[in-house]
Amino acid sequence: MTPTLLTAWIEGIGFLAPGLPDWPAARTVLRGEQDYSAAPSVLPPPAILPPAERRRASRIVRLTLAIGLEAAAHAEADVGTLATVFASSGADGHNCHALCEQLASDDRQISPTRFHNSVHNAAAGYWGIATGSMAPCQVLCAFDASFGAGLLDALGQVVVDQQPTLLIAYDSEYPEPLRSKRGIPDCAGVALLLTPGRTRRSLARITVTPSADPAQVLADSGLEDLRRAIPAMRSLPLLASLARGGSGPVRLEYLPPMQLNVALQPC
């Protein structure tokens, strides 16, 4: 039996990371047109949310809305119709820290807001509220391999269901003392809108297959540090190739000993 290739077309990209507030800024750095300079991530306000939810929105919610909406706008897509895949190694580090502090205190009454923001699918829930989407949604975690797992899941949906699917991969920092055990320095994320066929907005064709070869590293030491520090930034070799309009294979980290071989063909 010949296996079905996981192939789709990339139509939109959203991005936010330390020192890189959006995809145009990241593209300039990944092309080598500007040096990378690390700086704290700046999260735009979630203006698309109703006022009550806007006040409760965590850093993770603001991050995922920012990159998801950027990718959809890049592709001129209707966010209310897109299937979504949310992938994160640990979701909301600040809320986890606050819950642990509360449970370690004399007053162990958890606020409803803290509780509903503690679940791994909180960002997906806020996305549904903000966009009114009733399309299928998957939420997954694979520790440091979460971007690769999300990419495989999103591509599988595109191939099987023939439906445009928005992948949103993201991570958040933990305050101390959790940071000493899980040293993610800041929040960052990437969103890719994948479609089953080529259109006038397509940026590149992407095909993913398993590989045993070592994952690709970045020549720029600052970007390589970012790739290693934040699981969602394992996507950077793929994004660097997209930024340069390159073709050919890119190897991404996945669950050892397997890696992912990503073939890109720019439009």
Query: pLDDT tens digit string along 73-108?
Result: 999 999 999 999 999 998 787 888 888 888 888 888
- 87 and 153 in contact (C-beta within 8 Å)? yes
- Strands of the sheet with 204-211, listed across from one edge: 137-140, 83-88, 165-171, 188-195, 6-16, 204-211, 259-266, 248-253
Structural domain includes residue 31: yes
- 53 and 45 in contact (C-beta within 8 Å)? no
Structural domain includes residue 19: yes
Structural domain includes residue 107: yes
The boundaries of the domain holding residue 87 are 6-202
Structural domain includes residue 61: yes
- pLDDT score recorded for residue 36: 97
pLDDT tens, 168-206?
999 999 888 888 888 899 999 999 999 999 999 999 999
CATH code of the domain in which 108 resides: 3.40.47.10
Structural domain includes residue 265: no
Structural domain includes residue 261: no
pLDDT tens, 101-148?
888 888 888 877 777 777 888 899 999 999 999 999 999 999 999 999
For residue 257, whether the previous peptide bond is cis, meaning omega lies within 30 degrees of 0, is: yes
pLDDT tens, 192-251?
999 999 999 999 999 999 999 999 999 999 999 999 999 999 999 999 999 999 887 899
**249: three-class secondary structure by DSSP:** strand
Structural domain includes residue 151: yes
Structural domain includes residue 186: yes
Strand (E) or helix (H) holding 146: helix 146-161
Number of domains present in the structure of the chain: 1
Q: Which residues, 6+ apart, have CB-to-CB distance to 223 below 8 Å?
A: 29, 30, 36, 236, 240
